Structure 1
Amino acid sequence: MKLFSKETYIKRRARLKELVGSGIIFLPGNNEASLNYADNHYRFRQDSTFLYYFGLNEAGLNAAIDCDSREEILFGNEFTVEDIIWIGQQEGLKSKSEKVGISDLRPSNSVIDFIAAAKGRKVHYLPPYRADILNTLSDLLDQTREHISKGSSVELIDAVIQQRSYKSSEELEQMTEAVNISGLMHINAMRSAATGKFEYETVADIYQTAKAHNSYLAYPAIFSINGQILHNHYHGNQMTEGRMVLNDSGAENAMCYSGDITRTFPVNGKFSTKQKEIYDIVLDMETSSIESLKPRLLYKDVHLASNKLMISKLKDLGLLKGDVEEMVNLGVGGLFMPHGLGHMIGMDVHDMENLGENRVGYREGLERSTQLGLKSLRLGKELEKDFVITVEPGLYFIPDLIEKWKAEKKFEDFINYEKLKEYYNFGGVRIEDDVLITENGSEILGNPIPKTTKEVETTMAS
C-alpha cells in the first residue's frame, strides 16, 4: 500500500475543517461491486475524495470528521482468521490508520450510533454516484433516496474542489509517473499496430504495458480506426491500409493518479498527404493552445482560439467558406470538433466531476454555451497556478452528423457539403497532453511522447 506522509493527510483534513467550518463531514468509502455473483468482484477502486483525505484504498471503510470537536474517526473492521484463509496475512487496519494520522478506529457498524447521536447537527456529504452509497446515506440519515440525491453539502463540495484543484509537488510527482507510463503505452501501441492486425491485438499491448508498470488503465482504452466516434471502446476492427488509428488511453498508477494521453497515427506507419494535412491542423491547434496557457486566462477563450485556427485551416482546404470570425461565433466548428478542448485531471481522469461538472469547471457569471462542441467544454473558467489540465483538440468527419446538418441546410452558406463527401471514410484525429499551469505559463507533464508526423513515423518504423 503506497501512501503520502502521515503529515500530508493530517494537513489536508485540518484545512478541510477550516473550509467547512462546522458540523460533521461524512465521507463514505466505496464497497466491493459484484461482477456476476457475490464473490466475484470488479477491480476495487476507492472513492477519490476518501483517498485524498484518508489514503486507504480498500473496501468497507467510512470516515467522519467533526469540525466542532475536531474528532477524526475511521469506521472499519479488522480482518478475521477466516478472511486470512482466503486472502493471506494482511497489515492490520489499526496500523494502516495510524499511517494516515488516525488514532480513533471504530467497528463498521458503530457508524449507525455515531450518526444517530449527531441528530440535529449538520451532516455534510458529497453527491453519491453509487447506488449502495446512496442507500447507505438514506438509511443512516433517515431520508429518502430522492432527498439524499438533492441534499449534498454545497459547503463540502466547494471545500473539496478548493483543495483538490491545486496539485502539490508530491501529487505532481505521481501524475508525472502516470503520464510517463501512459507515454510508454502509446509508444508500444505505435510499434505494435500494423496492417492486417486487429485492434484488440494492439489494445492487449496497451493493457500489458500498464500492468507491467504496476498500473491499471485510468479509463477503458479508446482505440479505433473509427476515430470519428469520440468514445469508441469497440476493438474488433481489422486495421487496414489507408486508415488511421486514434488511441486515447492513460495509466492510473499505484497511488491512483491518472494520465490521459491521445495520439493518432497511420496504420501503415506513413501519413498520406490528406492525413498529414488534417493531422497538422490538429497539432497546430494543440501546440498553440499549450503555448498560450497561463494563470488568469479563461480556458473558454483558449477553446475558441483553437476553434478559430481550425476553421481558418479548413477554409484554406476549401471545406469552409466565408468570414472566419462569424463562423466561430455561430458555432460552425462544432461540426468538426463536437467536444471541449479539455478538463481538469488528477486522481480522476475527469477530476472531481462527481462533485458537479459546472462547480468544478465554471463559476458564477460564466455560463455554459449551448452550441455543439462548446457546450461540452468541461473546463471554461480562468486557469490558476497548480491546476493540471488536458489539452485535447480534435478534428473529425462524422458522416451522420454532416448529413443531418446538410438535410437541415444548416450553415450551408459556410460549409462545402459536396467537398466533405471526400472525407466520409477519413475518421478523426485527436492529440492530447496533460499540462501543469505554472506561475507564468505552462509545462507539459512527463517525458515527450511522439507527436509530430516525423516523430510518429520514426517510432512506428522502429
Structure 2
Amino acid sequence: MFAKEVYIARRATLVGKMGENVPQGSRGIALFIGNAESPAQYWDNAYKFRQDSSWLYYFGLDIPCYAAVIDLDTAEETVFADDVEIGDIIWMGPQPSVASLAAGVGVLHTAPSGELGNVVARAISQGRPVHYLPPSRWYNTLKISDLTGIPVAQVKEKSSDSLTRAVISMRLVKEQCEIEQIDDACALGYEMHTVARNNVKVGRIEQEVVGIMEGVTLSKGWGVSFATILTQHGETLHNHLHDKVIEDGKLMVIDAGAENNMHYASDFTRTLPTGGRFTTMQKDIYRIVCNANELAFSLTRPGITYREVHLATARLMLEQLRDLDLVRGDVDEMVSLGIAGLFQPHGLGHNMGLDVHDMEDLGENLVGYDSNQIRSAQLGLGSLRMARKLVPGNVVTDEPGIYFIPALIDKWKAEGTDRGFVNYAKLEAYRDFGGIRLEDDVLVTEDGARRTGPYRLPILPEDVEEAMGNALS
C-alpha cells in the first residue's frame, strides 16, 4: 500500500468533487464494494484474488469481502468487514483486526459486514442518493442489488454518473507515487519480454515461451496484467492460442504485460522474426510500423488529442504503404475515408494504470473521450479507446500495427469498401504475411512525453536482429 496520507487525500478530493454544485445535506453516500474471491470449481478452490481497482485506489486494502461508505455530506468514512474467527485462524493464522487495517489507510470507523445493509437502507429511507460505480463482477452486481433493492438487470445502468465521472477525472491523472509503480511494472515487463525474445527458437512450442515469460512476472510481481498474446498468426489481433511449433521465416507477435505487487500494469508489444532475421518483405512493413510508433511518441504532449495522434500515424502508414504500391491515390482522402482501417483495424492506444485498459469497467467512452468528442464509426478509428486531449499525468499506450487479414481483405474487395484505393493484386503476396504490432507505454509530461520504465525494448529492426542473434549465439 501507499502511505495512508495518499488515500486520505484521494477520498477528500473525491468528496470535494461530489460536493460541487450540490447543496450540503443532499449529497448522499458513496458506496464502494471490494471484490470477493471467485470460485474456480468450488468455494475453497478460488481463482487468484484480484481486488477491484477503484477500491484499491481509494482504500488500498487488498483483502476480499471489504466494503466502505463515504458520507458525502459529513465526509465520515466507514469500512465494513468481519474480523476472523477461530475457524479462519486455523487455516490462515492470526490476522490483523479490521479496525487496524482501516486505520492503516486513514479510516477511523469500522463496522461488521452485516451493518452495511442497515446504513444503505437508512440512506434510502431518508431519500438520500446512494452513489456507486458500475460493477464489472457478478458478485458486486448482486451485492449492490441486495443492498439497494435495484433489480439485478438495472444495477449497471443505475450506477452514479457523477461518481463515475469524478473517479475517472482523478484516476486519469497519475500521481508521482503511481508513476513510480508503473515504471516498476514496466521494468518487470521489460524483463519478461527479454526472456521471451531469448527463448524464441525454431522447433519450440509457443506455450513453452509463454510459460517461461509468465514465470518472470510471478517470481517478482502479481502476474500478467492480461492474457498473454504470443503468436505466429498476428493477423488475429487477440490470438491467445499457444499450441503452434515455431517455424522459420514467421513473425512472432508478443503482446504481454506485467502487473506488479501494487497492481499497476505494463503493456508492451514486439514483433520478432522467428529465425532471427527479417525477410525483405517483413522489414519493409516493419519499418512502417516502427516509424508510426516513433511519430506517435514525437507528437504526444499536453494539449493534443490522442485522436489527432492516431490520425497522424494513419496518414504516415498510408503514405508508406503507397510507396510499396499497396494503396494508390490521394492520402488525405484515404485518411478521411478510413482506408487505414483495412491494415490497422484498432486504435492507436488506451489508458493504462491500475488496469491495463485503465478504468474501462467504468465506461470506455467516459474514460477515453472528452465531452465534445464523438466516437467514429470507421473501422480502426472507431476502436480508438483513448481519444482525449492529453494532460500531464496521462499514461497511454503507443501501439500502431499493420495486419493482413485475408477475410477482411476479401470482404472489402467484394463490397468495394476501399473506393478503389487498395491494390488487391499486390496484396495477394501478403495473404499469409500475418501482422506486426509495436507497443510502448508513454507518460505525458509537462513539456512532452517519456516512455515509462527504466529501459526500452529493442525496436529498430537491426537492433531486434542483433538482440536475437546474441541470444542464439
Shift of 1:143: 1.8
Equivalent residue in structure 1 for 2:340, among 333, 336, 357: 333
Amino acid aligned to 1:421: E
Task: String of CA shifts for 1:335-365, please: whole Å, max 9, x gaps.
Answer: 0000000011000111111111111111222
- What residue in structure 2 maps to residue 50 of structure 1? 55
Amino acid aligned to 2:119: F
Question: Are 1:76 and 1:105, in contact at CA under 8 Å, matched by a contact in 2?
Answer: yes
Equivalent residue in structure 2 for 1:204, among 205, 208, 211: 211
- What residue in structure 2 maps to residue 389 of structure 1? 396
Shift of 1:43: 0.9
- What residue in structure 2 maps to residue 16 of structure 1? 14
Q: What is the number of equivalent residue pairs in this alignment? A: 460
- Tell me whether 1:148 sits opposite 2:146 in the alignment: no
Question: Are 1:24 and 1:124, in contact at CA under 8 Å, matched by a contact in 2?
Answer: yes
- What residue in structure 2 maps to residue 453 of structure 1? 461
- What residue in structure 2 maps to residue 430 of structure 1? 437
Shift of 1:412: 5.1
- Tell me whether 1:254 sits opposite 2:261 in the alignment: yes
In 2, Cα distance between the equivalents of 1:61 and 1:273? 56
In 2, Cα distance between the equivalents of 1:165 and 1:364? 15
In 1, Cα distance between the equivalents of 2:468 and 2:420? 41
When normalised by structure 1's length, the TM-score is: 0.98
In 1, Cα distance between the equivalents of 2:348 and 2:422? 22
Shift of 1:149: 2.1
Amino acid aligned to 1:265: L
Larger mean Cα displacement after TM superposition, 53-62 or 128-137: 128-137
Equivalent residue in structure 2 for 1:175, among 179, 182, 195: 182
In 2, Cα distance between the equivalents of 1:202 and 1:129? 31
Shift of 1:88: 2.7
- What residue in structure 1 maps to residue 423 of structure 2? 416
Kindly report which structure 2 residues correspond to 1:272-287, keeping only aligned pairs within 5 A, or say none: 272-287=279-294
- Tell me whether 1:107 sits opposite 2:105 in the alignment: no
When normalised by structure 2's length, the TM-score is: 0.96
- What residue in structure 1 maps to residue 305 of structure 2? 298
In 1, Cα distance between the equivalents of 2:83 and 2:258? 31
Q: Which runs of 5+ in 2 are unaligned?
A: 20-26
Shift of 1:425: 1.0
Task: String of CA shifts for 1:212-266, please: whole Å, max 9, x gaps.
Answer: 2133100010110001111111111111011010000000000000001111101
Shift of 1:91: 3.0
Task: String of CA shifts for 1:249-293, please: whole Å, max 9, x gaps.
Answer: 000000000001111101111111111111110000001110111
Q: Equivalent residue of 1:245, what SS? A: strand
Question: Are 1:406 and 1:412, in contact at CA under 8 Å, matched by a contact in 2?
Answer: no
Amino acid aligned to 1:82: G
In 2, Cα distance between the equivalents of 1:217 and 1:460? 23
Question: Are 1:187 and 1:450, in contact at CA under 8 Å, matched by a contact in 2?
Answer: no
Task: String of CA shifts for 1:197-216, please: whole Å, max 9, x gaps.
Answer: 11101001111111121331
User: CA, structure 1 residues 459+88, in 2 after alignment: closer, same or farther (shift >3 Å)?
Assistant: farther
Question: Are 1:179 and 1:251, in contact at CA under 8 Å, matched by a contact in 2?
Answer: yes
- What residue in structure 2 maps to residue 349 of structure 1? 356
Q: Equivalent residue of 1:155, what SS? A: helix
Task: String of CA shifts for 1:394-419, please: whole Å, max 9, x gaps.
Answer: 00000111011111132252111111
- What residue in structure 2 maps to residue 373 of structure 1? 380
Question: Are 2:81 and 2:113, in contact at CA under 8 Å, matched by a contact in 1?
Answer: yes
Q: Which runs of 5+ in 1 are unaligned?
A: none
Question: Are 1:191 and 1:461, in contact at CA under 8 Å, matched by a contact in 2?
Answer: no
In 2, Cα distance between the equivalents of 1:278 and 1:91? 57
In 2, Cα distance between the equivalents of 1:170 and 1:179? 14
Question: Are 2:221 and 2:258, in contact at CA under 8 Å, matched by a contact in 1?
Answer: no
Q: Equivalent residue of 1:118, what SS? A: helix
- What residue in structure 2 maps to residue 6 of structure 1? 4
Q: Equivalent residue of 1:100, what SS? A: coil
Q: Equivalent residue of 1:349, what SS? A: coil
- What residue in structure 2 maps to residue 361 of structure 1? 368
In 2, Cα distance between the equivalents of 1:410 and 1:418? 16
In 1, Cα distance between the equivalents of 2:44 and 2:358? 30
Question: Are 2:370 and 2:389, in contact at CA under 8 Å, matched by a contact in 1?
Answer: no
Please tell me the root mean square deviation across aligned C-alpha atoms, in Å.
1.0
Question: Are 1:386 and 1:437, in contact at CA under 8 Å, matched by a contact in 2?
Answer: yes
- What residue in structure 1 maps to residue 73 of structure 2? 68
Amino acid aligned to 1:74: V
In 2, Cα distance between the equivalents of 1:41 and 1:418? 53
In 2, Cα distance between the equivalents of 1:86 and 1:349? 33
Shift of 1:117: 1.2
Amino acid aligned to 2:461: T
Kindly report which structure 2 residues correspond to 1:196-235, keeping only aligned pairs within 5 A, or say none: 196-235=203-242
In 2, Cα distance between the equivalents of 1:407 and 1:123? 53
In 1, Cα distance between the equivalents of 2:249 and 2:69? 57
Q: Equivalent residue of 1:109, what SS? A: helix
